[in-house]
Chains A and B, each alone.
Chain A
Amino acid sequence: MRYPWRRLLLFLAAASVPCYWLYLGTIAALGPDPGKVLVDNLGEGALVMLLCSLAMTPLQRLTAWSGWVAFRRQLGLWSFAYAVLHVSAYLYFLLGLDFTGFTAELVERPYIAAGAIALMGLSALAATSNGGSMRKLGKRWKKLHRVVYPIVLIVLLHMLWVVRADAGRWALYATVAAVLLLARLPSVERKLAGRGRAKRVRSID
């Protein structure tokens, strides 16, 4: 495994953030509605992790360092983990574990349905984020994992439906996502690759 220490560092950093939020919640530092804050933070955290995982390949192409892609899987799995915590917090804090009418909610509320679809997509990706699945699926693995692009769009839609009067934060994420998705267009990809190669060659010289 390449870069074991950096991977461990990333793991500890990503794991400590929700622990820190929980700690803030227990000392009443999240305000009078800590459950809502946790639900929102975990949701945003999942989106940030997802965008980070999507940034690894373009960074690999763009910069002289070829190590970026080694962190892609972990970032993707963290996105899934945050998303699962986000849903659990929603069920506990916002529904009070009262599931009467929850199926109706799923059908009636487009943003909950969108979130559920995104979570199902992420689960499929998380379940196949291992060497065994990659070997077994072969070429189809790459095809399957391209589902991440529509997932990002669905997640952004999910968030847009939730924000009310101020869409500033959402616009920031949407811009980042747009840049990352553009970076995957074949023509842009070739240009990035050319630049990265040039830098790598220079750094070898």
Chain B
Amino acid sequence: MLIKIPRRSDCRESEVTPEALYLNRRQTLQLTAISVACAGFPLMAHAQEWRYEGVDAADAPAWFDAKGDKARWEAVVAKGEAITPYRDATHYNNFYEFGPDKGDPAAHAPKLVTEPWTVMVDGEVANPGTYSVEDLFAAPRLEERIYRLRCVEAWSMVIPWLGFPLAELIRRLEPTSNAKFVRFETLARPEQMPGMRAGFSLIGWPYIEGLRMDEAMHPLSLMTVGMYGRVLPNQNGAPLRLIVPWKYGFKSIKSIVRISFVREQPATTWQTMAPQEYGFYANVNPDVSHPRWSQARERRLPGSLFSPNVRATLAFNGYADEVSSLYAGMDLSKDY
């Protein structure tokens, strides 16, 4: 019998760097070399710099380019999760202002004009006013956060977002002690949003979402301007959207034009439309079914005919350790 005694200096297989990571390092070096080489030619540098495969080139506003260089990459990662391909995350989503089908946002949103863009801040706040996106993003350093996104329709993705904590913005705006909730409003511009012109839509515009103040101040809540290392594509909520990873996707409101600090819980769009189906909190919860389907499992996209990729849904979308204390003492089967 042959017994192999490894020498102490031998590498165990578990210590071998996976090839993908190794290649990644190489790629990073190459990209660095290229970007150094291209430093004199900003346009060329851009075409090369995408950190993710298959990312479409984008004409990002100057303020975004300036920030992108100093971003903290992979500040939050999703351990053991494969990132959803860029193409799927940008061509399969809901944005009803552009139409009811998953492909409608990608088809119709490119016509949306997002520059200039201002956000109205009002309500119980010391610094109300109309801010441009540049103003809002002037101070903070952008960070990349790779979050799971769980849609209420029982599909999910893993997406690298770029933004900064909503809490930082709120602190700068200085809400008064009367502010108990934050209310967000999406742009309503029917001439550039064909979904708003459809005769059969059941949704009331503009789209409204909201968070309780402590949820908004939670470090996971992200004010987002980019994804996959680039500026947000219009269909994903350019130029400014919210990401709340422990809640169903519809809470993460897109293309924000108004942020209001309010005393009462705001009447949000889906909750107003179908209160028995969509709650204000909308925390990802495998134990509370949507009346029309179970939330116990989800399809991690992309799936294929050969592997439907169905998996169990986690409480708070896997962020329970971070956020469950926000809801201590609440009955989440009632406050769904």
- A interface vs B, CB < 8 Å? 22, 25-26, 28, 31-36, 38, 92-96, 98, 101, 105, 108-109, 111, 161-162, 164-168, 171
A32 near B199 with CB under 8 A, answer no
Asked, given contacts A165-B96, A165-B100, whether A33 binds B292 with beta carbons under 8 Å apart, the answer is: no
A94 to B85, CA, bound (A): 21
A11 to B118, CA, bound (A): 58
A32 to B100, CA, bound (A): 17
Scan B284-318; emit 1 where CB is below 8 A from any A CB, else 0.
00000101111011010111110010100000000
A31 to B301, CA, bound (A): 9
Asked if B164 is an interface residue, CB under 8 A from chain A, the answer is no
A95 near B292 with CB under 8 A, answer no
* Chain A residues within 8 Å of B181, by CB: none
* Chain A residues within 8 Å of B91, by CB: 31
B202 near A167 with CB under 8 A, answer yes
Chain A nearest Cβ from B209, distance in angstroms: 15
Asked, given contacts A165-B203, A168-B200, A171-B200, whether A25 binds B92 with beta carbons under 8 Å apart, the answer is: no
B303 near A33 with CB under 8 A, answer yes
Q: How many residues of B contact A (CB 8 A)?
A: 33
Asked if B201 is an interface residue, CB under 8 A from chain A, the answer is yes
| 8 Å CB contact of B200 from A31, A36, A38, A166 | A166
| 8 Å CB contact of A35 from B96, B289, B305 | B305
A28 to B200, CA, bound (A): 31
* Chain B residues within 8 Å of A96, by CB: 297, 308, 310
A33 near B155 with CB under 8 A, answer yes
A111 to B92, CA, bound (A): 25
| 8 Å CB contact of B198 from A38, A111, A168 | A168
* Chain A residues within 8 Å of B74, by CB: none
A104 to B155, CA, bound (A): 21
6 contacts between A and B (CB under 8 A): A31-B103, A32-B85, A32-B302, A33-B302, A98-B310, A166-B198
Residue on A nearest B312 in the bound complex, by CB:
A98
Residue on A nearest B277 in the bound complex, by CB:
A164
Please provide the chain B residues from 54 to 92 with a CB less than 8 Å away from any CB of chain A in the complex. Answer: 84-85, 88, 91-92
Asked if B46 is an interface residue, CB under 8 A from chain A, the answer is no
* Chain A residues within 8 Å of B202, by CB: 164-167
Asked, given contacts A35-B308, A166-B200, A167-B202, whether A161 binds B292 with beta carbons under 8 Å apart, the answer is: yes
A30 to B242, CA, bound (A): 29
Asked, given contacts A98-B297, A101-B294, whether A26 binds B100 with beta carbons under 8 Å apart, the answer is: no
A22 to B305, CA, bound (A): 8
* Chain A residues within 8 Å of B180, by CB: none
B200 near A167 with CB under 8 A, answer yes
B301 near A33 with CB under 8 A, answer yes
* Chain A residues within 8 Å of B303, by CB: 32-35, 93
Asked if B108 is an interface residue, CB under 8 A from chain A, the answer is no
* Chain A residues within 8 Å of B296, by CB: 101
* Chain B residues within 8 Å of A168, by CB: 100, 198-200
* Chain B residues within 8 Å of A32, by CB: 84-85, 88, 92, 301-303
A109 to B275, CA, bound (A): 17
A164 to B277, CA, bound (A): 11
Residue on B nearest A104 in the bound complex, by CB:
B294
